[in-house]
Amino acid sequence: MSKNEDTMILPNGVNKKDFLAAIKEFEKIVGKKWVFKSKEDVYLYRDAYSPYWDEPEEPIPSLAVAPKSTEEVQEIVKVANQYKIPIFPISTGKNLGYGSSAPNNRGDVVVDLKRMNKIIEVNDKRNYCILEPGVSYFDLYNYIEENNLNVMMDIPDPGWGSPVGNSLDHGWGYLHGQFRDHFGNHCGMEVVLPNGELMRTAMGALPGAKTFAENKYGYGPYVDGLFSQSNFGIVTKMGFWMMPKPEHYTLAAITVPRRDDLIPLVEILNYLEDSSIVGWPLYRSPLNPEYGKPMNPELKSYLTSKNGKPDIEKIQDYALRNEIPYWRIDVSLYGTKDAVAANINYMKERFSKAIKGSKVEVTEDYDLPLTEEQKKSLKHKVTLGIPNLEIFWLSTRGEELGPKDGHVWFSPIIPRDGKELLKCQEIYIDTFYELGMESMITPFSHPRTWMYRAFCFMIGFANSREDKEINEKMRKVYTTMVKVAAKHGWGDYRAAPPFQDIVSGVYNFNDNILKRFAEQLKDTIDPNGIIAPGRGGIWPKRLRGDKNA
């Protein structure tokens, strides 16, 4: 017996003899080179931002298998069924803050689809693409630019993720609303089912269909949604709608002086956004210091000066005295030069009438295509579909701030309404106060606005690869926050594996009917419970009791 076999993590419920036999089968399918079984290789599939780093519960896989084709995925699934081995698919494995490349459970075998990296088609006349899961946003962008195609993809931060993987985990982006919902913006899917059969959805179910990536529904029930944040199959191909590159791009900044101005501000921006006059609105408060720099001490003192809680009047007074706008929103506008200029004038008129002291200022104004220098200097590259990793500024070392090991996202959805955001700030601040912690939320914390019909009011909880106590405390706070949010009608849109049960658990209308429905489907489609047990809070029958009592 080799040293590796001695220290081998086993998949849940599988004995060593069967596991070793399955490994031989996997090696026959993909070749020995693409079955990773040494500790050194398997550990590369850990979640670098795991809230359970180095603890017995940390979901380290037993093995990773990297197929090159759909046929190989089918064969892997058949072997997994034969030996009842839980398998966990990843696309590019960069879902940092939501699980990275690690499985849901310790011992699940990772099926790494990174090698399935074919760009099957990009059509810039009918504006769509068809991709395999291992294609990254960088790969797609480079292909488009090298081939001088007149389309752009809506991308998330950061750009090394996979359009397929990101959309399956309900990721979001930065262009016009209809493109920002990456799952909603997909069209057509190919899936390996848990028994190894291959299914194509919608138009793809019609052999020879010419509109796989153009008409979402085909005929009959729409089943694509079953394969997102779930475990009913392994998606091996997806189509996406793309946005034609505009002729002109303008970035405008809207500023308002008062905290309560947020209420009319959001109403107007909702109108502008839902009428496709503007793209993604980036909400910020200039009261926040530049990343890594200290907050003004006077302002900081007001965060706890009212019996340990913020004194909003003093904060407002500070902003007015120092002529710091309370809110600033950057919005992108796309179209022809004249149309964009007309829309800017319209915005100026709307805001000046509705909000005293508001300003609309153009900060970037470009005819496209951009030069390489213009691309480099662009303030929000993602708003023109240019992938990058600049978002990592939020966890790197700052002048007055140590580096972080990573973060775990708490991401509740709240209404796209100024009043509700201010209420949400108050509830979070109260919760941190009751927990005896410094609040990570202030009266000038801003919403995330990728969801074009809702806000997300996120917190990035720091994890540690050095200090288990930090992780333990973070897990407790996270769990409390999920419950508090749910009490107010706010639920997470996405979660890292350790929190998927608690997050899905609050979606419990009518005695958990949604979960029970998913479980019925799971038992029917995947009777051996081999695909990603627990993903999205859906457990197969054989694992239900202990994990999901």
Binding site for another protein (CB under 8 A): 34, 36, 40-41, 44-46, 48-49, 64, 66, 93-94, 96, 100-101, 112, 114-115, 138, 158-160, 388-390, 392-393, 395-399, 403-407
Q: Which distant-in-sequence residues (6+ apart) come within 8 Å of 275 by Cβ?
A: none
Smallest separation (angstroms) from another protein to the CB of 396: 4
Smallest separation (angstroms) from another protein to the CB of 135: 13
Q: What is the DSSP string of 316-361?
A: HHHHHHTT--SEEEEEEEEE-HHHHHHHHHHHHHHHHHHSTT-EEE
Identity of the residue, 14 or 116, whose beta carbon is nearer to another protein in the bound complex = 116
Query: Tokens 């058949």 correspond to what residue?
Result: 78
Nearest-angstrom CA–CA distance, 48 and 40: 14
Identity of the residue, 142 or 524, whose beta carbon is nearer to another protein in the bound complex = 142
Instruction: Give the CA distances from residue 474 to residues 112, 309, 438, 471, 499, in Å, rounded to whole numbers and listed in that order.
Output: 29, 21, 13, 5, 11
Smallest separation (angstroms) from another protein to the CB of 462: 10
Identity of the residue, 102 or 482, whose beta carbon is nearer to another protein in the bound complex = 102
Nearest-angstrom CA–CA distance, 461 and 441: 12
167 neighbors 186 (Cβ within 8 angstroms): yes
Render the burial of 411-424: b for 16+ CB within 10 Å, e for the rest.
bbbbbbbbebbeeb
Helices 418-435 and 468-487, axial angle in degrees (round to 10): 140
Smallest separation (angstroms) from another protein to the CB of 195: 26
Find the helix or strand (DSSP H, E) in which 249 lies. strand 248-256
Per-residue DSSP letter, 7 = T
129 strand-pairing partners = 122, 240
Identity of the residue, 101 or 431, whose beta carbon is nearer to another protein in the bound complex = 101
Smallest separation (angstroms) from another protein to the CB of 389: 4
Identity of the residue, 230 or 464, whose beta carbon is nearer to another protein in the bound complex = 464
Give me Rg for the CA atoms of the chain: 24
Identity of the residue, 66 or 485, whose beta carbon is nearer to another protein in the bound complex = 66
Identity of the residue, 94 or 446, whose beta carbon is nearer to another protein in the bound complex = 94
Residue 187 φ then ψ, to 5°: -150, 105
Smallest separation (angstroms) from another protein to the CB of 104: 18
Nearest-angstrom CA–CA distance, 257 and 287: 11
Smallest separation (angstroms) from another protein to the CB of 62: 16
Find the helix or strand (DSSP H, E) in which 521 lies. helix 509-525
Tally of residues, the chain: 549
Identity of the residue, 74 or 388, whose beta carbon is nearer to another protein in the bound complex = 388
Nearest-angstrom CA–CA distance, 270 and 266: 6
Helices 262-274 and 337-354, axial angle in degrees (round to 10): 150
At 545 the three-state DSSP class reads helix
Identity of the residue, 65 or 360, whose beta carbon is nearer to another protein in the bound complex = 65
User: Which pair of structure tokens corresponds to residue 147?
Assistant: 């081939």
**Residue in 450, 465, 464, 469 with CA at minimum distance from that of residue 411:** 450
253 strand-pairing partners = 330, 361
Smallest separation (angstroms) from another protein to the CB of 286: 21
Smallest separation (angstroms) from another protein to the CB of 158: 8
Helices 16-30 and 70-83, axial angle in degrees (round to 10): 170
Query: Tokens 């926050």 correspond to what residue?
Result: 481
Smallest separation (angstroms) from another protein to the CB of 179: 22
Nearest-angstrom CA–CA distance, 113 and 324: 48
Smallest separation (angstroms) from another protein to the CB of 100: 6
Identity of the residue, 68 or 494, whose beta carbon is nearer to another protein in the bound complex = 68
Identity of the residue, 289 or 357, whose beta carbon is nearer to another protein in the bound complex = 289
Smallest separation (angstroms) from another protein to the CB of 175: 20
Identity of the residue, 81 or 395, whose beta carbon is nearer to another protein in the bound complex = 395
